[in-house]
Structure formats: structure tokens, C-alpha cells
Structure 1
């Protein structure tokens, strides 16, 4: 059985990166993984580059597992590393890219999705030599800034900010609209839980403040799958053990400053004015059991009408779904990726 292809890792350093709100960093580090080899046509245009962007508090390595890469990146699969050049960056404030916990703590620049996307555009064009994308896709936050490329959570941002830069767009588990209602309330509650905790000490804590645990409670609600969590914890005792283990892992893996900054980055996200300018084929996939992007709000179905070649899909709950986290379970939605790749096919002149 074919194994996952071995990724390459690297760091791209951007000098004097200026953030939207006016602050700057003398050295912004963007960490990334790449898999495969970049190809160009006879005019020097990249033909096989695919950008895949992660969600809030995640990182590019989150995709290097059996449920995502194992269903997409192997030989003969939809995004085979033998055919595509796959780019998996860590966004600003995440993973091994520059983030508050590196040392600046609460004085780290207050970044936004717009800053994240611009940094990734520089990574592609100035460092990796990618001047065109065959596909841009993103999960949750990563889906949001794919359309604005400045501000879907990442997919929604790339499409409106840099029209013509990609052949196809696939946002997963995200909405092309300002974050409002319960979604915004939960984010604010998480941020306030951290920053209003006396132990936070204006970001200068020595051990993780209790407020981080409260914020993780909110994240658990947003990302949970009622069906799957019921199956995994069918009685009171197993439910208590399940959530205790989930919280303990979160407290080991997360940092309060990083968490608060990451949740705050969505504050000015609103791709709606640019949806009409998206020219590339787009399939947006959401999930019926997604607690963060509730399908009954009908936001996706309403806004997708503004996208010239847009299609909205809400996948029903199934044995394989995982709530908001279904965005990484490729087996559930890969047929829509196949459809998008087929409908967005482009004929390139081969470079000899």
C-alpha cells in the first residue's frame, strides 16, 4: 500500500512586514510544508500548484494524516503528489510561523485575515516561485481567506483579493459573510475568558491562565460533533473522561496569547462586497452538523448566488461526519473536489 509522500519543510522570512493596522515586524517568519514538484507551461506560468490552508489554532501539518493526505495525496488520488505541487503554510500566529508566544506576547501585532493572506501570497510568489494556483482550498479559517486573499476565512479571501490568480476555489466549513450572531458571540466569549482572567496579567503570565480552559470549553462546543461524541461517550462516566482528556490535551497544546490573537483575527472578515468579482469556479462545502456554521441560517445558500460560477453544498450528517471537523475528513467530500477539478480544467502549453 502506498505511503504518504515525504514533505519538505522551510521558513520564509519577510523583512519589515507591515500589518493592516499599521504596526510592523522587522522579521516575519512563515513556516510551510511542500510536497511534489512545481511545473510551468511554456510561458513560465505555474500549472500544478495547490494551496491548502488550515483553520484557527491549527497548522499545515494538521493535513498530514490518513484522513486527509491519505485520501488525497497518494499516487492516483485527486491531489496526487506525483501530479501536483502542494503548499501547506502555517498562518501568521500559528504553528511554527511567527506568533505571540515566541516572545512578544500581548505586544505582538494585532493581525487579521488580510495580513495572513498577504503573507501567504508573498510566500508563494516571492519565495516558492508560484505565480498561479491550480486550486486554492481551505478549512474553516483557511476556507475564509481563500476568497479574499486578503481577508474565509482564507479561501473566500483569495478569490476576491486576487481574481485570476487561481483556477478553482474550494472553501470547507466556512461562510462567505461577516462573522456575527452566535458565532461572533462565542469568539468574543473565548477571548474575554482569557483576557479578563487576572492570571492573564496583560499577557505576561508564567503558566497558562485558567481563562484558557474556559476558552477551550467554548472551542469544544464550536467544533464538536453531537453524533460522534455521543457514540464515543454513551454514558456519564465515559463523557466525563472524554471531555477531561480533550481539555487536558488542549491545555498542553495551546497558549493563551496565541489563542486569543487567533480568534481575534476574524474581527474584520467580510468578503461579501467582493463575491461578485470571483471569476474562478467555486464549490463551497459545509456540513449539516457543523456547530460553528449552522445550515439553518441559510447564509451560504444566499451569498453563493453572488458568485458567477459558485455552487453550495451542505453535506448531511452521516456515520463518517465529524461536526465542524468534517472539513478534514476527505472521504466525506472528495467527490465534490473531483467535480471542481473536472469543471475547472485548463489546457496549458507544455514547457519543453
Structure 2
């Protein structure tokens, strides 16, 4: 079981110019730490989670991370931060600032984690970065802004931009929340529930493959929809909107040429969020020397939890870099 830890970054400056006097970052670590003569960790790998995740979301890739596994934690030290804007780290809800919390970007999310590693954890260079979904956005942004900071990146079920269906989905989610009478332009005292519930239920429509829905009983689908409804009821409205707006601005398509890290792009053929033809394959083709691997999963986008299907490819990719 992962135990979360916390660090505070003083006077964190957002891309907008706004400054947060204290930025709290939640994270967890596991594996074997190796250091140089100056005490800097030399074998770090960072895992970056998706939109509704946190440090514990690393369990999605547990089949490749651990003692004796493809990414052997006897050799690597794994850091799993909860991204800026997600509860656990500073966000509109956890900061107590609500609608006054600074609007942030994907770049700000990367900078917060970068500060954690360099200022607090004695990491000046990473072996690599693994990111799923939104975490893939972050991995790409890392490799563009800090191209010499890591040896490799592995973006999984992700893209270089938020366009089309993803952009529309975020817009509709935000509209559901903003149209909730309890939202009050974000200045609510009591947490709105109807808007966030409807927003999270919308996500269920595209998380899996078409075949998954067809093969599920109506009872199973209703149960899953209810689970998403409960997740929405437990989520903070401003947290959802702030993050959606950050990802809606994300577009690094014209900056992929800056990436120096060795890159393995992994996608799922049945992914409805980031289909291979429109997102994953063009992403790989735009990164010089990158490797591409696609696999099948009835779970669609959620099938990143079946990353064991890419085990051999990841193993070869890592060996080639040694």
C-alpha cells in the first residue's frame, strides 16, 4: 500500500503570472533509491496519472512496475505525484480558495512536479517518464520544456492536443456544472452535486470500447453509471472545471520537434478518447525516432490497465537504451 507524502513549494508562479504563496504537492514513492556522491537520486522514474487520478493511480500499470518486473523497482525509484489541480495537491477545493484559485495550464502542472523533484527530492535527472491519458499530456510537455531532464518517455493512450471529441466532452461537462443552480459562478458555499454527477456520467459513454458496451448487460451498465454518478457527487465542481479548461488549452503539436528523449508511444486500437488513426499514430510520426505500439483491449481507453500487453515492447525499448 502506497503512503502519500507532502511537500510545499513556496511562491509558485503560474504561467499567468499569478503567485501561490504555498503550493502543496502530494506524492508517493517506492523502489530502490540510488544516489551519486552529491546525494542526487540517479535512477528515478516518474509516473503521471490521468484526469481523475492521484498518486495511487500508478496501480494502473502495476503489471510492469515492481520487483522483478519489466521496470524492476530493485533497479528504479518510482515517484508518483498527484498533479496540481487534483485533490491531494493544491486545487480550488483543497486550497480553500475556491473560485479564486489561479487558473492553470498543463505547463503549470509540469512545473509543479518539476519543482518537487528538483527542490525537494534531490532529482536533477530522470531515467524516464510514464504517463497515461492526461499523464501522457504531461509527459510530452515535460520532454518539450525540459528536453535534457529525462532519458525516455512513454506516453500511453494520449495525444499531442485536445481537439474534436475530447474538447467537446470537456465543454459539455463544464456546461453541465455551470448550469447547475447551486454552482453560483463558482462561488458556492455548499458543494454542487447535480452538475458534477451529470458531468462524470458523460465520461462513461466513451471510456470503453463499443464492443464492451454491447457485451455488457443493462444491469451492469446501470451499476457503472451509478458509480460515475457517485464519483461526481464526491468531486468538487471547480476542481473539474479548472482541470478541463487546462486540458482544453493543451496543444503541443508544433513543439514535438523539441523532444530529445527516446520515446515509445503506446495506444489502444479500441480507444474512443484517443483513437490511433487520429491521435496516437500521428503523435508517434511527429516525434523523430519514436517507437509505436498498439494493442487490442475490450476496455478501450480504460485498457491502459492491461499494459501487460506491451510488456515485450517496453522491455526491448528499455534494453535498447542501456
Structure 1 spans left out of the alignment, 5+ residues: 1-5, 144-152, 346-352
SS in 1 for 2:261: coil
How big is each residue's C-alpha offset from its partner over 1:238-267, in whole Å with a ceiling of 9 and x where there is no partner?
A: 4333322x2343134322111111111113
Give distance in 1, aligned partners of 2:40 and 2:12: 27
1:341 aligns with 2:318: yes
3-state SS in 2 of match to 1:30: strand
Aligned pair partner of 1:240 in 222, 225, 235:
222
The superposition leaves residues 26-47 of structure 1 with CA deviations (integer Å, 9 ceiling, x where unpaired) of 1100010011232135687643
Give the TM-score normalised by structure 1: 0.84
1:312 maps to which residue?
A: 292
SS at match of 1:168: strand
Whole-Å Cα distance in 2 between the matches of residues 242 and 306 of structure 1?
37
1:10 is matched with which residue? 5
CA distance in 1, matches of 2:294, 2:189: 42
119-128 or 218-227: which moved more? 218-227
- CA gap of 1:47–1:288, structure 2 versus 1, over 3 A, is same
2:277 is aligned, of 296, 301, 315, to 296
List aligned pairs for 1:1-352, cutoff 5 A: 7-41=2-36, 46-64=41-59, 68-69=61-62, 71-102=63-94, 103-143=96-136, 153-176=137-160, 178-203=161-186, 204-231=188-215, 233-234=216-217, 236-244=218-226, 246-297=227-278, 299-317=279-297, 321-345=298-322
Give the structure-2-normalised TM-score: 0.92
Q: Secondary structure at the match of 2:257?
A: helix
C-alpha displacement of 1:52: 0.3
Shift of 1:129: 0.6
Whether the aligned pair in 1 keeps the contact of 2:293 and 2:310 (CA below 8 Å) is no
- SS of the aligned residue for 1:340 comes to helix
Asked if the contact 1:173–1:293 (Cα under 8 Å) also holds between the matched residues in 2, the reply is: yes
Decide whether aligned partners of structure 1 residues 249 and 331 sit closer, same or farther in structure 2, where only a CA change above 3 A counts: farther
Deviation at 1:326, TM superposition (A): 1.6
How far is the alpha carbon of 1:339 from its aligned partner? 2.2
Change over 3 Å in CA distance of 1:248–1:302 after alignment to 2:
closer
Q: How many residues align?
A: 320
C-alpha distance in 2 between matches for 1:334 and 1:173: 15
CA RMSD across the alignment? 2.0
Whether the 8 Å contact between 2:139 and 2:155 is mirrored in structure 1 is: yes
Deviations 1:318-350 (A, max 9, x none): xxx4211122333222223212211221xxxxx
